[in-house]
Amino acid sequence: MKKHVFTHVACPCGHRGTIVQTYDSAPRDGWYHAWLRDLSNKGTYEGTDSLFAETRPSCPKCGRSLAPENVVGHSELDEAAELLFRLG
């Protein structure tokens, strides 16, 4: 079953974007993929958060590197197309 997790981030300059993670547990070993929506991958994050370390998000408008403290919300979408939204 596929599941999409959206991590919404906001840059101090006002630009917003999303880190999208897709999980599929149906294949025997499952798979995972993460990509950026409305963000660049030129960030310099070197902390312990694996999502930010893997995707290196940055603002395409001002070039600022984004980190976990820039997260403004999360949402999830599963294969049944039910959207679950949580702030914070």
This prediction's pTM: 0.83
Q: Can you give the pLDDT at residue 3?
A: 86
6-17 pLDDT, tens digit each: 999 999 999 999
17-68 pLDDT, tens digit each: 999 999 887 766 667 889 999 999 999 999 999 999 999 999 999 999 999 9
Unique residue bearing structure tokens 């101090």: 12
Q: Which two three-digit tokens encode residue 3?
A: 């599941």
Q: Of all helices (H) and strands (E), which one includes residue 4?
A: strand 2-10
Q: Of 23, 32, 27, which Cα lies nearest the Cα of 3?
A: 23
Q: Can you give the pLDDT at residue 53?
A: 95
Backbone angles phi, psi at 31, to 5 degrees: -155, 165
